[in-house]
Structure formats: C-alpha cells, structure tokens
Structure 1
Amino acid sequence: PADHPLARRSRLRAADLAGADLIVHSADRRSVMYDVVLGLLRDAGVEPHIRHEVAETSTLVTLVAGGLGIAVVPEPVTALALNGVVYLPLAGADARVELAVAHRADRSEPHLERTVGIIRATL
C-alpha cells in the first residue's frame, strides 16, 4: 500500500517482508504464484504471515490498495495501476514463472492479438 512504511524505499529484499501482512494467490486453486512467493520468503528466512488468500490478481492488487497487506507479484502486474498501490522491485528475486497461452485459431479480436503479441515478445 502507498501509505505503508516500506513504500518509501526504492527497492525491497524478501527479508524486508518479515512480519508484514501478506496477500497471496490461493494455495487451494493451485496457483504457481503461491509456491513462488512462499519459496522466495523461505529462502530469505522469512516466516510468512498470510492475511488473505485470493483467486484473482486484480483482487490481490485491490486488497493491497485498500491497505490490507503487501503482495509479491510478477513484474507485468505493475500494469494494473491503482491509486494506493506502489510497486517496488524485489532485489535478489530470481524467480521465474512460465507462461503459456492457448486460444482458438479462428479468433482474431484485437485484444486477443495484443495479449498474444505481448506474451510472444517476452519469449
């Protein structure tokens, strides 16, 4: 959240999140982000304090904007610009998440083509 003391920094380390209320993707929904985030914290010796688990990234960022906790998200999520949210790089975090996309070959809507183009550009 923009008013959190950590938001004043230019970058964070996973160890800086010790004791912070966290908002994470749900473990029950088999989100790869749940395992990635908990792995980053464990590697830094941080015992996570999970306040909320959510199914959707937009919900996660909205809860952060509401001041309910901190979240670790992939860099592309920073495109979800919301008032009350500050995105900071996580120093030393070298976690990667594989992304795949499947769509019907007979579909060519502009939003679909933009999304597929963005994903291809990151390969």
Structure 2
Amino acid sequence: MKNARNNELTDRRQSAQEAKAAQLKAYRDAQAQPDPERAARQAERAAVAAAREARRIEREEAKRAEKIRLAEEAAAREAALEAEARAEAEARELAEKTRIARVVEDEAARKAERDRRYAARKARKN
C-alpha cells in the first residue's frame, strides 16, 4: 500500500504547532520577568477592584438599611391602622352602650310616668 500522506498539510500543521509553542514560551518568559510597569498596572487594578468592592458593600448596606426602614414604617403603619380600628371599635361599643342606657332610661321614665298616672287615677277613684 502506498503512503498517501500530504506532506504540505503535515508541514503546515507542524509549523503552526511550533509557532504556538514559541508564542506560549515567549508569554511565559515575559510573565516570569519582573516588569515595574506591569506591577504598577496590577496594583492599580487591585485598587480599583478594592474600591469597587467597597462601593458594592456600601450599596448593599444602604439597601439593607432601606429595607429595614421600610419594614419599620410598614410595622408602624400597621400598628397605627390597628390602633385606629381598635379606637373605632371602642367608639362604636361606647355609642351602643350609651344608646342602650338611653333606651333603658327612657323605658324607666315611661314606666314611672305610667305608674304615676295609674296612682293618680286610683287616688281620684277613692
């Protein structure tokens, strides 16, 4: 059987692999060497990241404080509504009691007037 390899393709693949390996080696060598400019950029990036994180934490704290404030306001509104409902119920109950007391007094007054008329009528007959 005949060897049917395409040498041009194999050569191109091999040269591409070698180029990638050379680029990777150059990158690793560049990373290994101390570069003051790169260190300054990294320090600046770290400072920016730290400031960003501080702002994020501050926003979260503000959100948490706002949520707590809203919950307290809602609880205060709920308590005010509850107190208002309780006061309204007590006012209705007091009005009902006074109405009942007035009805009882009116009934007692009517009975007293009836008894007085009855006694006067008996006194006239005798």
- Normalised by the shorter chain, which TM-score bucket? under 0.3
Task: Answer with 1 or 2: which has the greater Rg.
Answer: 2
Name the one with the larger strand percent.
Answer: 1
Query: Looking at both structures, which has the greater relative contact order when contacts are Cα pairs under 8 Å and sequence separation is at least 6?
Result: 1
